[in-house]
Structure 1
Amino acid sequence: MCHGLAVTDYRTVNRATWDERAPAHAASPDYAFARFVDDPAFLSDVVRFDAPRLGDLTGLRAVHLQCHIGTDTISLDRLGARITGLDFSGASLAQARSLATKVDAEVDFVESDVYDAPGVLEPGGFDLVYTGVGALCWLPDIRRWAQVVSALLRPGGRLFLRDGHPMLGTLADARDDGLLVVEYPYFERPEPLVWDQDGTYVETDVTFTHTVTHSWNHGLGEIVTALLDAGLELTMLEEHDSAPWDAMPGWTVRDEHGEWRLRDSPWRLAQTFTLQARKRA
């Protein structure tokens, strides 16, 4: 459920939600903590999907912004990156550090709001900035985010981003008649979408008490333009008709890569996108 309530401190509201969900996410089979422990070569579904696009990460100094409970971060470590994970949820980072200890991963985790990252990390110190699925929608200002990315990258350093497609973010809940209906903003708006939902996107039996979140959509052109204006050059942009989570329950099926696609005519909808950009010298 979404409504138009005004927001005074979106970070406090959203942090309470992520803090509460972190233990449930870590315990859920969807995040596969046990598989990370049992198999030293195991990678998260998100990182495995984009591994061919990521290329050789051996020795690269990297930072994963909005890393949540660290499964993608540890996957990047397993691909050879010297990785730091950053997130504003202390409870999420507690789960990430616990997993890193269990799998002997040398990953640093830093607690900070993403907009404050240049103040707690080394500006210009990173070869790679990585942002994964489900991150940008929690940020009200995409231009400010792009400036953070630029501040962290060394000249010639690379941004790697995969996230939900802004078109997916506009859609109403699945309908009985099979139509895809645009209900929510495509472009970034000053006011957030305020949601009140008692569940989460992974398998769990936990009942949550913090149910309100605030989010924003950002158009694909807005994201690209923000990066260009922040001193980056676009090197790749791919749109995908699949997502690593079931974004439209009842309408989707899992494909051979473990991704979810529309059962009927999946070419109607871009669900995610992958973008790469380099910081100009």
Structure 2
Amino acid sequence: MSEYLRLNRAQWDERAPAHAASPGYSRQRFIDDPAYLSDVVRFDLPRLGPVDGLRAVHLQCHIGTDTLSLYRLGAKITGLDFSGASLAEARALAAATGASIDYVQADVYDAPEVLEPGAFDLVYTGIGALCWLPDVRRWAGVVAALLRPGGRLFIREGHPMLWAVDETRPDGVLAVDQAYFERVEPLVWEESGTYVETDVTFQHTVTHQWNHGLGEIVTAVMDAGLELTMLQEHDSAPWDALPGRTVADEHGEFRLAERPWRLPQTYTLQARKR
């Protein structure tokens, strides 16, 4: 196993139980309300369109809240993730809600080897996935291999401009200090916490991540044989990416408190396999 996979999987394995227990993932609400959908999926409902009856796969599904949401919209869904601990939480949530969801443990680059190539109507990827992958062109090839002709990719993701911003400056200036374009060398981060509320103390704190420019992502998707059908940038994110500088709306989306039009925080992309 490569060093980046070893470090990143250890981080996700350790954080999965804490994420499942946190209010941010609303696990109990999924159990109590059969109609409840994750904030991420609900945000994109006008763009996602009907998925009822579609055979779908959610790549890098983590603890399965978005996966369950797509299932509740009628998709015949499979979730894939490299973290066994994350999938244990996803399976437990599916069992607690009576959802029939298949979960497969594998690295996303190995998805065509463990799933049926050319069999899916929809490949879905949610927030915070691509930054863990060193090669976006290889990822786009995986997507193309999984989709049937006419099938589509749907992704909402953190904007590469947001990932390039240094959010730690004490003067509050939003400075572009990290790589915007994909580089061979990873960004090595050491973070003792996580992005949801928890009092857990973590031992695995080092991760390797990569940014991918928006043009690099679009070009990779098109070169893999998909036609771009939608690209929308958003001034908000479903988590507080810039603490102390944002305000939340009634849907749980965070925007800059001052002049939010300065910074794209996320984007939604859709493409269809030729």
Asked if 1:61 corresponds to 2:55, the answer is yes
What residue is the counterpart of 1:210 in the other structure?
204
Sequence identity percentage: 75
Whether the 8 Å contact between 2:136 and 2:220 is mirrored in structure 1 is yes
TM-score by length of 1: 0.96
- Opposite residue 162 of structure 1, the aligned amino acid is R
Whole-angstrom distance in 2 between the partners of 1:22 and 1:176: 31
Where does the alignment leave 5 or more consecutive residues of structure 1 unmatched? 1-6
Asked if 1:87 corresponds to 2:81, the answer is yes
**CA deviation string 1:45-103 (max 9, x = no partner):** 10010011111111000000000000000000001100000000000000000000000
**CA deviation string 1:120-148 (max 9, x = no partner):** 00000000000000000000000000000
TM-score by length of 2: 0.99
- Ranges of 4+ aligned residues in structure 1 off by more than 4 Å: none
Shift in Å at residue 175 of structure 1? 3.4
Whole-angstrom distance in 2 between the partners of 1:172 and 1:99: 35
Shift in Å at residue 174 of structure 1? 4.2
Asked if 1:101 corresponds to 2:95, the answer is yes
Whether the 8 Å contact between 2:239 and 2:252 is mirrored in structure 1 is no
What residue is the counterpart of 2:237 in the other structure?
243
What residue is the counterpart of 1:119 in the other structure?
113
Coordinate RMSD, CA, aligned? 1.0
Q: Counterpart of 1:17 in 2: which secondary structure?
A: helix
Whole-angstrom distance in 1 between the partners of 2:251 and 2:61: 22
Whole-angstrom distance in 1 between the partners of 2:172 and 2:17: 36
Alignment of 1:186-225 (within 5 A): 186-225=180-219
Q: Counterpart of 1:30 in 2: which secondary structure?
A: helix
Whether the 8 Å contact between 2:57 and 2:80 is mirrored in structure 1 is yes
Whether the 8 Å contact between 2:60 and 2:108 is mirrored in structure 1 is yes
Whole-angstrom distance in 1 between the partners of 2:14 and 2:250: 33
Alignment of 1:42-81 (within 5 A): 42-81=36-75
**CA deviation string 1:179-226 (max 9, x = no partner):** 210110000000000001100000000000000000000000000000
- Opposite residue 53 of structure 1, the aligned amino acid is R
Count of residues paired in the alignment: 274
- Opposite residue 74 of structure 1, the aligned amino acid is L
